[in-house]
Each structure stands twice: as structure tokens, then as C-alpha cells.
Structure 1
Amino acid sequence: MEDRGWFTRFLDTVEWLGNLLPHPVTLFAILCVLMILISGVVGFFDLSVEDPRPGAVGEIQANSLLNGDGLRWLVENLVSNFVGFAPLGVVLVALLGVGVADKSGLLSAVIRSIVMKAPPKLIVAALVFSGIISNTASEMGYVVLIPLAGLIFLGLGRHPLAGMAAAFAGVSGGYSANLLLGTIDPLLAGITQEAAQLIDESYRVDATANYFFMIISTFVITAVGTFVTVKIVEPKLGEYDPSNASEDLSDETSLDPITPEERRGMKWAGIAALGMLGLFALSVVPEWGVLRHPETGEVAHSPFLNGIVALIFAFFLVPGVVFGVVTGQMRNDQDVVNAMASAMSTLGLYIVLVFFAAQFVSIFGETNLGRILAVMGANGLQNIGLTGPLVFLFFILMCGMVNLSLGSASAQWAVTAPIFVPMLMLIGYSPEVIQAAYRIGDSTTNIITPMMSYFGLIMAFMVKYDRNTGIGTIIAMMLPFSIFFLISWITLFFVWVFLLGMPVGPGAPTYYDIGAATGS
């Protein structure tokens, strides 16, 4: 019998525990009911804490929803909780533009062009880098890039699983690095803002909150992913034996090469994209830029940053339409509308999830339990002296562990943000920095958890080349990426934020002044 080490048994336990969890939608519904019941208990015992904000008078009192007033609040606010949930609208708007760029074939053509034109010595770096960029439209990275990586490595006489591992590491392990803003950025920013407003009702978190850190992370993760692939994963896999394939690979060729029409389309789409960037720059770079703050004239908290989702929409829409028209994929306005409708049709499950997540976040806020737990947690950290930057090390590791069982980034953050964002704000750190730290933990363990929604798809792709591939095979292959990503990303975080004092995003502070909080 195969000797199973302690780490393999540990991963088996994690998988078993994760399988016991219900669907995220059901989980949020259960959490809503539990929160209402808990609010009744703490309300009965008059749980409260002293309000730590300067100038605040009195205590933060737990609010029971298990009474007549609570029932009336639930009934009256069910719809407004949903439609007023910050991440909902921004994701829908951003995806309208991204959907057009995706359905026209522009995103696929760009990714294939990057990978196929890369010199053999740089192919691994190109795969990891392309995987990171494809996060803008994550499904495209999983569905197109990862199988493409296997085909390219097979054609180069290298182990196809190594190429797929490199692409998988970029797409999923590097989920929070990018040169572009995608739909996940406004989604997480919206959840962070909702959590921050438990402490400061006026606090705003822009979709660009982590943009600077995302950019530098892109190059770090690309370098680390390339190193792990070439020095660890590929040597461990050894020479590929085609007899292990589950199907005949004799006629296997790389995915569709770039056609002349696609090259022409990318040329004109690139011109359109440069034109859009020029217009954006004209609106914000000059002192008279129309999208600067109308009163202060600054970029911070300006319409440019506050409305970045509208700019994401336009940036992907226009080049996407241009590419579609040039290549013949879009012949009239109906095709553009259909592309938008197709993008919206993929969000059915997301909208259902958001409905219950929004109810949970609103219920959690109405009960005041988020504020109370934040104050208690902050007091506990202060009592043990853990208020310095080291607190983020434990926070990142905790997020990574939670992600092993709750693979959805938005679902995990919707549960944890209302507790940890206020808690870390109370000891002096900004929501933007807290969100950046969360994203490190969330991304680095995506590639080693069977709970990740695309894990089964990745296994199906890999079985094609090796019939013996199983969950343990993938986890063992991806674990080095996870470890090296985690170490390098944590190091980058501390160096970037605390050693160099660099902001994680435009106008994003590192520290939060509790004295600036207003309201309760």
C-alpha cells in the first residue's frame, strides 16, 4: 500500500471538511438565520462595548432582530439590502464591457498572441504572465489558456502538465496581481467599503484600492512562477511519456493560431485602446482635467477614481467592438447587445449568491455585532501587544487557511471582512491595506484547494495527458507554487507597505486615523 505522509493526510482532511460545507448560497442563508438567532441572545443579555472612537458618547449596544422591530426591519429592507449592495452594480457594469471584449474574441486573441510569439526560453514566463493578465476575464484563462499551455509544451517536447501548472499558477495563484483592473476589483472594494462603514460611515474604497500593489505583484509572481516551474515542477515531473495519455495524441496540434483577420483586428483594437487611454489621461492628468475632484482639483477621491468602473466598461467595450467589426464577429448592434446579454447570462449564480451575501452583511451590520467583535478583537490585540505590522502575517495566513475550505474570493471576504476590516481599522490600518493583505492569502491557496470552482475542470484537462492524474497529483504539483507565492508575496507586502512606505493604490493610505471616524 502507498505510504501516505502526514501532509497528504492533512490535505485529505481539509478536502473532507470542505466537502461537508454546503453550497455558498446555502451557507449564507444559514449564516443569516444564525445571526438573527445570535442577535436575540446577545440582545437579551444587553451585550455592549464602549465606543472607542474619539468624541463618541456611550456604548455600542447589540441590536436584537429576534423581535417585532427586527422582523419589521427585515421585511422592509430585504429588497434595499440587495439592490444597495455595493459590489452588485459595479460588477454588472464592468462585465458588460469585458463581455463584449471576450465574446468578440479579442481577449482570446491577445492571450494566444502573447504565448505563441514568446521565444522558447521565455514561454514559461509568458504563460504565467498571460495567466495573470487573463484574470480580467477569469473564465477565459481557465478555459483557453490552461489547455493551450498543455498543447504548447507537448509541441515543444516538454511535459504538458508542467505547462498547464505554470498557466494554472498564473490564472489562479496570481489572482490578485494584474496590470489591468477587472471585475474582482470593484467587487472586493465594495465589500471592503461596506465593512469599513461599520466604523466610519463616510469611508469610501475605490476599485483602484490595490492597483499599485497589483502591478508590482504581477512581475514578482511572474518571476516566482517561472522559477518554480523550471527548477522544481518540471524536473520533478521528468520526461513525458505519451503512453500515459488517456486518448490518442498523435493528431494533437496547438490551439488555433492567430489568423490574419485577428492580427488586423488586434491592430485596430490596440489603436482604439490607446485612444481611450489618451482620453482618460486628458480627463485627469492636466490640472483642468474634467474628472479631477471639482473642489480640491486632486486625483484622490476624484470622479476619475470613484467612477473607475465606468472607465473599465468603456475601455473593454470600444476595443472589443472594433475587434469584432474588423474580424467580422460583430456585424451590427445586435451582435454587441447579444455579447452583453451573454455576459449577463453567466451571472445567474453570482446574483443569487449576492442576494444572500447582501442580506448577511446587512443583518450583521444592523445587529452591531460586527462593531462589537471588532472592538473586542482590537482590544485583545492591544492587550497582547500585537498591533504592529506583524499582525498582517497572521491575518494573511488565516485567510489562506480559510480559503482551503471556502474557495470563492467574494464569499470568503463577505464573511470575514465585517469582522477583520473594522478590527484592524481600530488599531490603525486602512481598509485598502487590509484588503491587499486579504488578497494575498486568498490567491496563494487557490491552486491547492479542491474547493476552488475550476479545480475539477483543471483535473479534466490534465487527465487527457496523464490518465492517473487525481486531486492529490494536482495538489502535490501546485504546492510549491503556493508556498513560494505565499513567501514572496508576504515579503513584497511588508517591503512595499512598511519598509518603503509605498501606497497600495492611488490615494490609498496605509494607516487609518480613528479620530476621523464620524457617526456610529
Structure 2
Amino acid sequence: MAPARPGLFNRFLNGVEWLGNLLPHPITLFALFSLALILASGIAAWFGVSVVDPRPEGAPGRSSDGMITVVSLLSAEGLQRIVSNLVTNFTGFAPLGTVLVALLGVGIAEHSGLLSAAMRGMVMSASKRMVTLTVVFAGIMSNTAAELGYVVLIPLAAMIFHSLGRHPLAGLAAAFAGVSGGYSANLLLGTVDPLLAGITQIAARIIDPGYVVGPEVNWYFMFISTFLITGLGAWVTEKIVEPKLGKYDPSEASVPLDQQAESLTAREKRGLWSALVAVLVVSGLLALTVVPADGILRHPETGAIAGSPFLHGIVAFIFVFFAVPGFVYGKVVGTMTSDKDVIKAMSTSMSTMGMYIVLVFFAAQFVAYFSWTNFGTVFAVKGAGALQALGLTGPGLFFGFILMCAVINLMIGSASAQWAVTAPIFVPMLMLIGYSPEVIQAAYRIGDSVTNIITPMMSYFGLILAVAVRYQKSLGIGTLIATMLPYTLVFLVGWSLLFYVWVFVLGLPVGPGAATFYPVGG
């Protein structure tokens, strides 16, 4: 019997679903936003909307008269610019190439079976005491390969918990919390890092045309966040979710529960060990280029890691770190015997990106129009002025920002779609009150992650529900969301506090070479 939902919570869930269903597809949303921007720019330009340019005199991009005025795209010149730049807006969109290149390497590792085998081996070899921690940790690590955690780990975790005499939905919840609630945490850089960094860089250049945001700029914070989310996820599972679920009654299942999780074969184990050796070899070779003081991938002038070819080429290393071990594993287990198999894996990986590429086309137009019209700067200056007038410029401001991102994520479940809409407004605005784009992006990633597990708008929510119904035929959307809500609340509070302590109490950078503050007027 599914637990009854409180009336208030029930109305909240219904409201989220209603609002989410009112919104069109993110692709349609960007198309509508682009049209709205064109119309709004014509109206704002007609009224002469303008602000004082916040950039110092002589700074790149500063207007000659010291004023920034909204530029109309609802004009002959605007139409000419739209038509002339339609293709270059798309092909020049920073996240597009970096994500596709990184995904080529991830595709080899995924289609060779390396990532699936590593995940299964990690979870199935864990002791009974450590299994919850391992499931959450494996979920977080699975984020390097898109749908793998949803398709492989979540059903596997439910099976393992059931085989241990524990409630299978507790295993499903723990895995779902790691895969989706801890989406932005990871020990490794994945495809989400260049994706968000590219959008952040475009937004930051509204204020500072030369600003560079690399994929690695949040790595330190996301690395330590992995351990926090692992611990919090395991604690919520064992102290809140599992006791609430109670003892599992197999008669509640909608199908016979005779399935068993498959252990790793001897060949798969050899493949994993071989892949580990490949990782160590690649790591050693890469270390030779950056560890020595005269390493060839250090900065050619300063000799430092900051601003070096190593950091600028981090996407290439993501590709190599997945592709080489993936191919070695595939060669050992027989899933990759020739170059044709490697090419097929990369091609298959690219074929899954069709929706993303269409989304990028429309998102790129929206972001470009936002920049051309000067709306980004106008909103940033007005917003920063309002925050200063209200005295909301201290580090505590980020708690509100994280919460806002978490709420928006209930309606727009795509990390890239939400950030493409909000970054051009909030990155410049918070830069103007003194915070760096890297710190702003790290805060966004917290809000974007924690509500993934309680929104039906998340693309894999239906898949998770289908797996859960196998174990409890009466389970509905509300029950699943109610089960996951404790993770959201604990992650939101715990992760936000870690952010505050890490950045503003300890003064630690969120990533290599990442500043905490932006020198306003500098």
C-alpha cells in the first residue's frame, strides 16, 4: 500500500506537474524566447532604455559615450544581422564542439562495456555494510556517461538490495539520488563540465569580453562534493527512507522477482585490470608534460599550470582518458576487435546527440540575440543596482540563488537549457557585485542537481517510475517523489553549507585557477 500524501504536499506536487506541463519543450521554449527578445528589443529601443556602462574607461567593449542602450533587432539592420549570423551562432556556440569531442571518448568506453562493467563490479563487490555508500558513489560516478546510471545502475541497485533482504525501492532511491541528485558532483571531469563552462563563458563576456571559463573551473569543489553527497545519500537511505519503507512484501511486485544481478565474468575482470593499467600509463605520460618545471604543456611564458595548454586542452584529455581504457577493455573482452568497432562506437554516441544538437541551435540564437540587444548588460546593471540597494551583496546571497535555481529546475529539467536561459542574466549581475563566473557556476550546479529527483519534468523520471513499479505495483508519481524528497532537502542544505564554508570561510578555489571574486571596475 502506497503511503498517503499530506494534502499540502499533494497540492504542491500537482502544482509542479501542472506548471511543468504548461511549459513547451525546451527547444520550442528557446524558439519562443528568441522571438520574444526580438520583439522586446524593438519596444525597449523605441523607449530608449539604457544604463550607465559599468566597465572602466578604456576597457574592451566599453561604449564610447559611457552608456549602454538596448539595440533593436526589430529593424532592417537587425534582420540582416539575424540572417547573416544564423549559422555562425550555431557553429560558434562554445559548448557544442567541446561536448561532442568529449562524448566521442565516453562513447568508446561506454560501448566497449567498460563503464557498465566498472559500475557492476564496484557495486556487487561491496560488503553488506558498505553497499549503500557504494551504490550512491557509483551513481555519482556514472554521470560521466549520460544515461548509463539510469539504465544500468538503478535497476541493478534495486536487485542487489532485494537479494540482501532489504527493500528494493531503498536501493533504487539510493542509486537515483546519486545518479540524478548528485548530478554535478564527480571525481572526474565529464561532458557536463565543458557544456556549462561554455555557456558561462559566453555570459561572462557580456561584462568582460576576454573572460575565459575552462571545463575544469569547478573540479576541486565537485571532487570534494562527491564524498559529501555519497555520505548524505547513504545516511538518508538508511536513516530515513528505508525505515519509512519498512519490510518489503514480495506480493506487492507487479512481476515475478526471480531476476539476479549478473556477476562479472573472468574475461570482464581481466578487461577491467587491463583498462586500469591503460589509465595509469596515460596518467604517467600526461604527468610528464605538466609535473616537470619545463613540462611541454605548461604555460610557455610563465611556466605555470594556470592558463597553460594543459588546461586549455582539458577536453582532449577527457577524450583520451575514456577512449584509450575503453578500447583496451574492449580488445580484452572481445567487444572491440578493430578500428571499425571504435568508429561504430563513436558514431553511435553521436547519434544519441540529435536532440541536444537541435536544442543547441535554438539556444545559440537566443544567447546571441541576448548579447546583441544589450539586454544582458542592462538586466545585469539594473539587477546589481537593486541588490546593492537592498544590501543583498554578501555571500549569503548565494543561498537564495541556489534555491532559485532549484525551483526553476522543477520546471526546466535540462541543465543546459536552464543555464542557457539564466546565465546571461545572473552571471553578469553577480559579476557586477564582485563574484567570479566560476563561483556563480558552482552555485548554479548545486541548485540544478538537488531537485532532479523530485521533478516529473526530468527526462528519465518515467524510466525510474517504470523500474519502481516492478517492485510495488501500486506506486505512483507522488509516492516516488515523496520517497526522494528527503534526499532533495538534505542535499540542498548540506551542499549549500559546504559551498559557503569552502568558498567564503576557508577561502578555497572551486577549481584550478578559479578566482572567488571578480574585480569590479578593475
Q: 2: CA distance between counterparts of 1:100 and 1:203?
A: 33
How far residue 53 of structure 1 moved from its aligned partner, in angstroms, is: 1.6
- Equivalent position amino acid for 1:29 in 2: A
The answer for the alignment partner of 2:152 in structure 1 is 144
Whether contact under 8 Å (1:42, 1:64) holds in the other structure is: yes
The answer for the alignment partner of 1:244 in structure 2 is 252
- Equivalent position amino acid for 1:252 in 2: Q
Q: 2: CA distance between counterparts of 1:198 and 1:262?
A: 50
Within the candidate set 196, 199, 206, 2:214 is matched to 206
Within the candidate set 15, 24, 31, 1:29 is matched to 31
The answer for the alignment partner of 1:8 in structure 2 is 10
How far residue 295 of structure 1 moved from its aligned partner, in angstroms, is: 1.2
Q: 2: CA distance between counterparts of 1:434 and 1:499?
A: 16
The answer for the alignment partner of 1:467 in structure 2 is 473
- Correspondence 1:308-457 to 2 at 5 A: 308-457=314-463
The answer for the alignment partner of 2:260 in structure 1 is 253
How far residue 288 of structure 1 moved from its aligned partner, in angstroms, is: 0.6
How far residue 138 of structure 1 moved from its aligned partner, in angstroms, is: 2.3
Give the SS at the match of 1:60.
strand
Q: 2: CA distance between counterparts of 1:141 and 1:163?
A: 13
How far residue 3 of structure 1 moved from its aligned partner, in angstroms, is: 6.9
The answer for the alignment partner of 1:40 in structure 2 is 42
Give the SS at the match of 1:473.
helix
**Matched positions, count:** 514
The answer for the alignment partner of 1:491 in structure 2 is 497
Residues 45-102 of structure 1: CA deviation (Å, up to 9, x unaligned): 1110001122255101100000000000000000000000000000000000000000
**Distance of aligned partners of 1:3 and 1:272 in 2 relative to their CA distance in 1, 3 Å threshold:** closer
- Equivalent position amino acid for 2:381 in 1: V
Whether contact under 8 Å (1:138, 1:171) holds in the other structure is: no
Residues 286-326 of structure 1: CA deviation (Å, up to 9, x unaligned): 11111111111111111111110001001100000000001
Give the SS at the match of 1:120.
coil
Within the candidate set 265, 271, 283, 1:265 is matched to 271
TM superposition score normalised by structure 1: 0.98
- Correspondence 1:42-61 to 2 at 5 A: 42-55=44-57, 56=62, 57-61=65-69
Give the SS at the match of 2:68.
strand
The answer for the alignment partner of 1:189 in structure 2 is 197
Residues 22-58 of structure 1: CA deviation (Å, up to 9, x unaligned): 0000000000000000000001111100011222551
Q: 2: CA distance between counterparts of 1:338 and 1:363?
A: 37
Whether contact under 8 Å (1:428, 1:512) holds in the other structure is: yes
- Correspondence 1:285-300 to 2 at 5 A: 285-300=291-306
TM superposition score normalised by structure 2: 0.97
- Equivalent position amino acid for 1:77 in 2: N
- Equivalent position amino acid for 1:73 in 2: R
Q: 2: CA distance between counterparts of 1:380 and 1:209?
A: 28
Q: 2: CA distance between counterparts of 1:73 and 1:484?
A: 48
How far residue 282 of structure 1 moved from its aligned partner, in angstroms, is: 1.2
How far residue 248 of structure 1 moved from its aligned partner, in angstroms, is: 1.1
How far residue 513 of structure 1 moved from its aligned partner, in angstroms, is: 0.9
How far residue 280 of structure 1 moved from its aligned partner, in angstroms, is: 1.6
Superposition CA RMSD, Å: 1.0
The answer for the alignment partner of 2:175 in structure 1 is 167
Q: 2: CA distance between counterparts of 1:257 and 1:342?
A: 26
- Equivalent position amino acid for 1:129 in 2: F
Whether contact under 8 Å (2:5, 2:479) holds in the other structure is: no
Q: 2: CA distance between counterparts of 1:269 and 1:58?
A: 58
Q: 1: CA distance between counterparts of 2:392 and 2:287?
A: 42
- Equivalent position amino acid for 2:276 in 1: G
- Equivalent position amino acid for 1:447 in 2: I
Q: 2: CA distance between counterparts of 1:155 and 1:487?
A: 33
Within the candidate set 163, 171, 178, 2:186 is matched to 178
How far residue 330 of structure 1 moved from its aligned partner, in angstroms, is: 0.5
Q: 1: CA distance between counterparts of 2:511 and 2:477?
A: 37
**Distance of aligned partners of 1:287 and 1:345 in 2 relative to their CA distance in 1, 3 Å threshold:** same
Give the SS at the match of 2:255.
coil
Give the SS at the match of 1:464.
helix
Give the SS at the match of 1:505.
coil
The answer for the alignment partner of 2:112 in structure 1 is 104
Whether contact under 8 Å (2:54, 2:521) holds in the other structure is: no
- Equivalent position amino acid for 1:494 in 2: Y
Whether contact under 8 Å (1:430, 1:512) holds in the other structure is: yes
Pairing 1:302–2:304 present: no
Whether contact under 8 Å (1:81, 1:362) holds in the other structure is: yes
How far residue 7 of structure 1 moved from its aligned partner, in angstroms, is: 1.9
Q: 2: CA distance between counterparts of 1:74 and 1:165?
A: 47
Q: 1: CA distance between counterparts of 2:186 and 2:286?
A: 19
The answer for the alignment partner of 1:66 in structure 2 is 74
Whether contact under 8 Å (1:170, 1:222) holds in the other structure is: yes
Q: 2: CA distance between counterparts of 1:39 and 1:156?
A: 61
Whether contact under 8 Å (2:200, 2:423) holds in the other structure is: yes
Q: 2: CA distance between counterparts of 1:3 and 1:473?
A: 8
Residues 206-263 of structure 1: CA deviation (Å, up to 9, x unaligned): 10010000011000000000000000000000000000100111x2211x21111111
Residues 90-128 of structure 1: CA deviation (Å, up to 9, x unaligned): 000000000000000000011111100100010000000
Q: 2: CA distance between counterparts of 1:439 and 1:4?
A: 30
Residues 413-443 of structure 1: CA deviation (Å, up to 9, x unaligned): 0000000000000000000000000000000
Can you give the 5+ residue segments of structure 2 that lack an aligned partner in the other structure? none
Q: 2: CA distance between counterparts of 1:90 and 1:371?
A: 26
Within the candidate set 118, 125, 131, 1:123 is matched to 131
Whether contact under 8 Å (2:336, 2:342) holds in the other structure is: yes
How far residue 10 of structure 1 moved from its aligned partner, in angstroms, is: 1.1
Q: 2: CA distance between counterparts of 1:432 and 1:221?
A: 21
The answer for the alignment partner of 1:504 in structure 2 is 510
Whether contact under 8 Å (1:292, 1:298) holds in the other structure is: yes
How far residue 4 of structure 1 moved from its aligned partner, in angstroms, is: 4.2
Pairing 1:215–2:217 present: no
